[in-house]
Every structure is written in C-alpha cells, then in structure tokens.
Amino acid sequence: MVDLFEKCRQRSRVDDAKDKGIYPYFHALETRQDCEVVMEGKRRIMLGSNNYLGLTTEPEVIEAGIKALEQYGTGCSGSRFLNGTLRMHIELEEELAHFLGKEAVTTFSTGFQSNLGIISAVVGRHDVVICDRENHASIYDGCRLSFGKLMMYRHADMEDLEAQLQKVPDTFGCLIVTDGIFSMGGDIAKLPEICALAKKYGARVMVDDAHALGVIGKGGRGSASHFGLEDQVDIYMGTFSKSLASLGGYMAASREVVEYVRHVSRPFIFSASITPSHLLQVAGLPRRIHGGLRAGGPAPRHQRLSPQVPEGPPHPHHRIRDPRGSHLYL
C-alpha cells in the first residue's frame, strides 16, 4: 500500500516559490482591513480586499457587533434546525427578502457553504446543472456534492450554453448557474441571454451575486436588478463577507424553494448557525446602502463610492472614470 501522505512530501511549485522569495500567500496583516494596511511591518496599499463599500471599519457596524456579543454571547451553539435560530436570524432573512424582492431568504454560515447547500439540495439524481467554466470554486463543489450531472459551457459563450441545454434529457430538470460578476475577470454575466435560453428550454437560473451585491443594480441589489431581470432569475445567492462587512451567506428564492432547501440541505442542517455578532453587523445594512434613494437623502453608498458605474445592460467592459481622472475597468 502506498503511503497516503507521500504526495504531501513531494516538491511542488509552492516550494520553488518560497525558495525564490516570491511566494504570494498567507502574508499576515497587522491592522484592520482598510485602504492602507500594515503587512509585515510595512505600510501597503490594499488592492486585494473584497471590502467593496468600506464598511468593515464603519463605527456603527463595529458597535452593532459589540452589542450583539454583549447581549447574546459569542455563538449560537447549534444548528438552525434545533437551538441555533435566534429571532434576529428570522428578522435579517425577512429584511433581505424585502430588499431583494423575493418571497423568502435563508442564511448560511458562509458564502462557500451557501453554494454547497443550495446546489446539492435542488439538483437531484435525475437533474442536470450547467455551469459557466469560470464560475467560483464553491459552485463546482456544490455540483459535485449533488447527485446530478454536471455540464459546462465556455465562458460567456451563449452558443455553447444552448448546445449544452440541447443535450439535457426531456425527463431531467436543469439548473443554469453563473456568477453575476466573475471574481477573476470582473466581467458581468450575460444574464439577458442566459434567461432567454432558460425560458426557451425550461431550465431554472441561479446567480451567485457574491461580487455584485452592494455594487451594481438598483440600490446595490445585484446583477438581476442591474438588467431588470428580477422575475427571471429563480435563485439569488450572496455573501455577507464582501460588501456587507461580515461573515455568512444567503439564498433568496420563492418561499417553496427556500423551505425545501431548509429541510433537505445537509450543509445547512448540520452546521452551526451564523453568530450573533455577524448577524447584527449585517442587519440594517441593505437599507443603509439603498437609503439614498429616499427623497432628500444622500446618494446610495454604492453610488457614492463608484459614481460613474452606469445602470442597465453594460458594454462588455464598463470603463469607469473616477473623480481624480484615472480609469478603472469593470
């Protein structure tokens, strides 16, 4: 029998990078997430953070976390199924459902876990899930955890997506899953075309809005709102660890689909629930992000931070001009 750990002892590109002093991972920060950080004793400009709206250092968000710790303690000590549901879980889910315009929401302990829990629950043995090749790793792992058949299409290639849809047996259900904003390339999914093809072939659509929530769409509502397709995207998935400055994830869908996932999803059922401090840090943030749309209020936070992001269907690459004259590409 071969030693299982033999692969761990073999020299790899990691060892080569460390020897050359160019290993880029696990460098420790010594300050909180901000535009500037201290890393290994030196000031650095932070270009790699997902803190899109700068809320991790917002005094009110920090105070909310402290208040939750004092009132509820450090954790829930159980899964949502049993003793791990607090009233604030339900209140946050209701707030998010209202903000996103869906009937119901359920929350997960992390964004990664959300994709695992949603896809593995709704895609069964006699179903197909079709993925863009550049989807996030958590989507692929959710597909592997399901009993369904995984099919892939070339990135943003709608002809290839249709070719895959044509291969789905008439007796199978089908879920198309795509990132809303792709985390590596930064491009926005072709949701109008994806939804049109889903309607043509009778498939359902799920969008991972981890990088879109708080960034695009009306009031920061994400990619479906960006295109005006809220009623054509069946499932929204999102995370609290980016624009919302906390930890956790969510699923927004029809009430019957959310209830099904709550009672079938093993990653949801057998995991401890989101901690009180992370919940209370998020509570109220959707209203604050969107708040500027009220009459007489300031511009919404997502628009104040990126005022040149156009609403509506995008050019393949948005060119954004900031007030200092430099250009960014989205």
CATH number of the domain to which 81 belongs: 3.40.640.10
For strands 249-253 and 319-321, give the pairing.
Answer: unpaired
Residue 40 shares a structural domain with residue 87: no
Residue 40 shares a structural domain with residue 68: no
Residue 184 shares a structural domain with residue 138: yes
pLDDT band, very low/low/confident/very high, at 321 (cuts 50, 70, 90): very low
Tell whether the model's pLDDT for residue 155 goes beyond 90.
yes
Tell whether the model's pLDDT for residue 208 goes beyond 90.
yes
Residue 40 shares a structural domain with residue 63: no
Mark whether 211 is an active-site residue: yes
Residue 107 shares a structural domain with residue 190: yes
Q: Is residue 121 part of a domain?
A: yes
Tell whether the model's pLDDT for residue 11 goes beyond 90.
yes
Q: Which of 136, 190, 226, 242 is catalytic?
A: 242
Q: Is residue 304 part of a domain?
A: no
Q: Is residue 191 part of a domain?
A: yes
Task: Work out the angle at residue 80's Cα, subtended by the Cα atoms of residues 100 and 232, and round it to the nearest 5 degrees.
Answer: 25
Residue 24 shares a structural domain with residue 162: no
Q: Is 275 within 8 Å of 265 (Cβ atoms)?
A: no
Whole-number average pLDDT of the chain = 89
Measured CA distances, 181 to 127, 226, 246 (Å): 25, 11, 20
Residue 28 shares a structural domain with residue 92: no
Q: Is 320 within 8 Å of 306 (Cβ atoms)?
A: yes
Residue 229 shares a structural domain with residue 263: yes
Q: Is residue 32 part of a domain?
A: yes
Residue 254 shares a structural domain with residue 110: yes
Q: Which of 136, 190, 211, 302 is catalytic?
A: 211
Q: Work out how many domains the chain is built from and give that number.
A: 2
Mark whether 167 is an active-site residue: no
Residue 41 shares a structural domain with residue 70: no
pTM over 0.75: yes
Residue 106 shares a structural domain with residue 128: yes
Give the structural domain span for 146: 59-289
Q: Is residue 70 part of a domain?
A: yes
Residue 23 shares a structural domain with residue 139: no
Mark whether 49 is an active-site residue: no
